[in-house]
Amino acid sequence: MIDAANLTLTDCDREPIHIPGAIQPHGLLFRLSDSGDVVQGAGDIEALTGVDDWLNRPLADLIGAELARAARQVEPAVSTFVGRWQDQAGVPHDVSALRGPQGLLVELERASDEGVMSVARMAQLDEAAAAFERTRTLDQLTDEAARTFRRLTGFDRVMIYRFLEDDSGCVVAEAHAEGMASFLNQHFPAGDIPRQARALYVQNPVRIIPDAGYTPRPLRPAEGDHPLDLSECVLRSVSPVHLQYLRNMGVGASASISIVIDGRLWGLVACHHNTPRLMDRETRAVAAVLARNLARQIQGRMEATAYRERVEQRLMEERLIADLPLDRTLMDGLAAELPSLMRLVGATGFAVVGERDIHQTGLTPDTRALADMADWLRARPHGRLVVSRCLEKLTPLGKPWVREASGLVGAVVGGAEPVCLLWFRAEHVETVRWAGDPHAGVRNGSPSALTPRASFDAWAETVQGQSRPWTPAEVESAQRFRDALVEFSEIRALRRRNSSLAAEVADRDHRLVRQDFLLREVNHRVQNSLQLISSFLGLQVREHGGGPGAPALEEARRRVKAVSLVHSRLYRSETVETVDLARYLSELIDDLGEASGPEWGDHIRHDLAPLAIEPERAVTVGLIFTELVINAQKYAYSGEPGPISVTLEPLDSRLSLRVADQGKGEHTKGKGFGSRMVESMAQQLGGSMSYSRGKTGLTADLIIPARLDSNE
C-alpha cells in the first residue's frame, strides 16, 4: 500500500500502480490454482459468499459449479464475461475471468438490473455514432462527444481531455450539470496523469472509481515476492494520491474512457460525479465502443485537415521548384521567391544564407546573427531539420532575438551551391489557464513531501520565449522542399557536367573525323604509291623479258600488290578498325588470277567465311596467302594452269586458312626466301604453318588467333 502523505512528486512516475495489492470494495477477486482452488482473494468474501474458510477451496463452492466451469474455460489474455451471480443478499454481480501468467483471475463486480445489453442501449449507441458523423469540425465533434457521454453515463460532469505534446492536458470540451464548476479550456500538468497511468489507459480503456472515498480491500493472503499484476482488472485499487486528488476536486466518483488513435493515447473521456456512482458493465461496454468510434472520427477530422494543408503545401512546393531558373545560381533563384518561401511553412520571417550573400524577408535577426546561425546550423548533422519553438534553449544565439525568432526551422542544402534555409516564427506570448497552480503542491509532513493540489481554482500563467508550435505538415513541407532543392542542385550540376562533356565529345568527334579523313588520305596515297611501285616492277619484268631476274621481279610485284589491296580496302571501307578478310582474299585471288594470266582465272576456287581482322594482320595474311598461291603455281604444276582451292573458316578462337593443290606435292617448306618469309610472318601472327601431302598435291594450313588478345 502507498502512503500518500509521504509520497513525493518525483515518486509519482515510479509508483507501481499495476500491483497495488488491493481492490476496490464493490466486488470480489479470486486467484485460482491450476486445479481450480482459490489461492488468493480480496473483498468481503465471507459476507457475500457466506463461506468463512474459502482459502484453498474450489471456486465452485463459492459461486457454483456452472460459473466456475465457465471461468476455467476462458482463453488466455482476454477478460471474458462468463455469467451472473447473486450474493447472500440477492445483489447481482457480473462474473468475468482472465487467464494470465500468474494464473486464472476471476472478478465479481456489482451489476445493473439488466442482464444483457438492452435494445435501448443499442439504439443510444447508434444515435450517438450518427451524431458524431454529422459534425463538421473537430471542435463540434468533441462538444457533441461530451454531451453524448454525459447522457450515456449520467455523470454530473463529462470532459473531453486532450494530451498535448509535453504530456500536459487540456479540457477541450465539457458538459456538466447546472451549478458545477467548469474546467473548459483549462490545462493540467503532466504529473497529474503520470506515465505509467497513461500506459494503463492504452492497455485497459475503461477505468472506474465508483466511490472516491473507499477503503481498499487487500489481497489475502498478503503478497509475496511476486505481487499480482492487476492491470486488466476492473476492480484494481487506484493510487491513494489519485484518490486524494479526486477528493480535493470535490469528486465523489469518476470514470475514464480512453481515446486511442493508432496505438497512442490521444485523450480521455473524463467523467466526474458529486456523489458515489457505479458505471456498470453494460454502460462500460457501450462507452468503450463509442470511444473507439469517437477516436476514428477524431482521426478522420485530423487527417482531413492535415491532408488539405499538405495538398496546399505540395502545390506551393512544386511551383517554387518549377520556377527556379536553370540559368541562374540557386541563391539568385531563392532570393526571387522570399515571400512565397516564408509562407510555405507559415513563418513570420525567412532567410537564405549562402557562402557570400544573405537574403531575408519578414521578421528576422540581423545579417550578422543570420550568418552565425547558419554556421551553427552547418555544424549539425546535414539532412535533418532543426525544429524548435524555443530557439534560445537550443543555442545562445537565439537569446537576443526571442521577439523576432523564438521559433526556427532550419535546413542545410549542400552540394556545389551550399545554402542554409532559416524559417523563423516570432514570439507568441500566451496566457495558459491552469486548473490550480501546476508548479506547487501542498506541504504535508516532511519538507520534501507533497500531496496532490488542494486547489483547482483557475490559475493563469503567461508563457513567453516561445513561438506557436510548428505542425507536422509544416515540418514535412520544409523537409520535402529541402530535399527537392538538393535534387535540383544535383540536376543543375549534372546538366553542367553533361554540357561540358557534350562539348568535349563534340570536339573529340571533330578530331576523330579529321583524323579519319587524314588516315584515309594517307591510305589513299600509300595505295597510290604501292600501285606505282607495282607498275615500276611490271615495267622491269617486261624489260628483262625472259631473263633470270624476271621471276624474282614478278614475285616482288605480287607482294606489293597484296599490300596495296589492303590499303585499297581501307580507303573504301566505312571503318579503318577492321577488314573483312574474306572479301580481301577474294579480291586478292581475282588479282592473282589476272596477274598469272587468263588461263588461271577458272582454276582458283575458294570458300571463304566472313571474318573481321585488324588491317595490319590482314596485310601479313595477304602476303602469306600470295606466297602460298605463287608456290602452288610454280611447283605443283610447273607453271601450267591447275586447280587450287582456298578455304577460310573459324576454328574456335582461331581461324584457319588452307591452300591446297593437286599437283606434284614436292614443294614443302624449304630454305628459299619465300619459305622463310612465310614461316616468319606466321610466327609474327602468333600462329603456325603446316604442310601435308596427299595422294595428289600438297595442302598448306595457316592457323592463327582470331584476335590479337587471344590466349591461343
Higher pLDDT, 621 or 573: 621
Phi/psi at 474 (5° precision)? -65, -40
Average pLDDT (109-128) is 75
Q: Contact at 8 Å (CB) between 26 and 110?
A: yes
- Lowest model confidence (mean pLDDT) among 111-125, 405-419, 561-575: 561-575
Q: Contact at 8 Å (CB) between 58 and 66?
A: no
Taking 3-state DSSP, the helix, strand and coil percentages for the chain, each rounded to the nearest 5, stand at: 45, 25, 35
Please indicate, yes or no, whether the overall pTM of this predicted structure exceeds 0.85. Answer: no
Annotate 605-628 with DSSP letters as a single string: EEEE---EE-HHHHHHHHHHHHHH
Calpha distance 64→68 (Å, rounded): 6
pLDDT value at position 267?
94
Q: What is the mean pLDDT of the chain?
A: 82
pLDDT value at position 3?
43
Largest CA distance in the chain: 151
pLDDT value at position 573?
57
Calpha distance 1→218 (Å, rounded): 9
Q: How many residues are recorded in the chain?
A: 712
Average pLDDT (420-434) is 75
Higher pLDDT, 602 or 668: 602
Calpha distance 23→613 (Å, rounded): 97
Calpha distance 660→690 (Å, rounded): 12
- Joined together, the cell numbers standing for residue 692 give 601435308
pLDDT value at position 143?
95
- Lowest model confidence (mean pLDDT) among 234-243, 553-562, 622-631: 553-562
Is residue 668 very low, low, confident or very high in pLDDT (cuts 50, 70, 90)? Answer: low
Q: Is the pLDDT assigned to residue 705 strictly greater than 80? A: yes
> What residue type is 533 in one-letter code?
I
Higher pLDDT, 78 or 671: 78
pLDDT value at position 595?
67
> What residue type is 230 in one-letter code?
L
Average pLDDT (651-655) is 89
Q: Contact at 8 Å (CB) between 439 and 409?
A: no
Higher pLDDT, 667 or 482: 482
Give the residue from 16, 459, 456, 26 showing the smallest Cα distance to 251: 456
Question: What is the β-pairing status of strands 644-651 and 688-693?
Answer: unpaired
Higher pLDDT, 237 or 515: 237
Average pLDDT (393-409) is 90
Q: Is the pLDDT assigned to residue 557 strictly greater than 80? A: no
Q: How many CB atoms lie within 10 A of CB 561?
A: 23
Q: Contact at 8 Å (CB) between 557 and 541?
A: yes
Average pLDDT (417-437) is 73
DSSP 8-state assignment for residue 228: P
Q: How many CB atoms lie within 10 A of CB 32?
A: 22
Average pLDDT (203-231) is 88
- Joined together, the cell numbers standing for residue 315 give 502545390
Average pLDDT (138-159) is 94
- Joined together, the cell numbers standing for residue 91 give 445483489
Is residue 402 very low, low, confident or very high in pLDDT (cuts 50, 70, 90)? Answer: confident
Q: Is the pLDDT assigned to residue 704 strictly greater than 80? A: yes
Give the model confidence (pLDDT) of 476-517 as tens digits: 889 989 988 888 877 776 666 777 777 777 778 777 777 666
pLDDT value at position 578?
80
- Joined together, the cell numbers standing for residue 636 give 605443283
Give the model confidence (pLDDT) of 184-205 as tens digits: 888 888 877 888 888 888 888 9
pLDDT value at position 9?
42
Average pLDDT (426-444) is 56
Q: Is the pLDDT assigned to residue 463 strictly greater than 70? A: no
Calpha distance 313→497 (Å, rounded): 32
pLDDT value at position 712?
44
Bond from prior residue into 221 cis (ω within 30 degrees of 0)? yes
Query: Which residues on neighbouring strands pair with residue 333, listed in sequence order?
Result: none
Calpha distance 422→411 (Å, rounded): 7
Render the burial of 62-88: b for 16+ CB within 10 Å, e for the rest: bbeeebbebbbebeeeebeebbebebe
Is residue 8 very low, low, confident or very high in pLDDT (cuts 50, 70, 90)? Answer: very low
Annotate 652-689 with DSSP letters as a single string: TTEEEEEEEE-S-------SSHHHHHHHHHHHHTT-EE
Dihedral class, residue 175 (left if φ above 0, else alpha if ψ from -120 to 50, else beta): beta
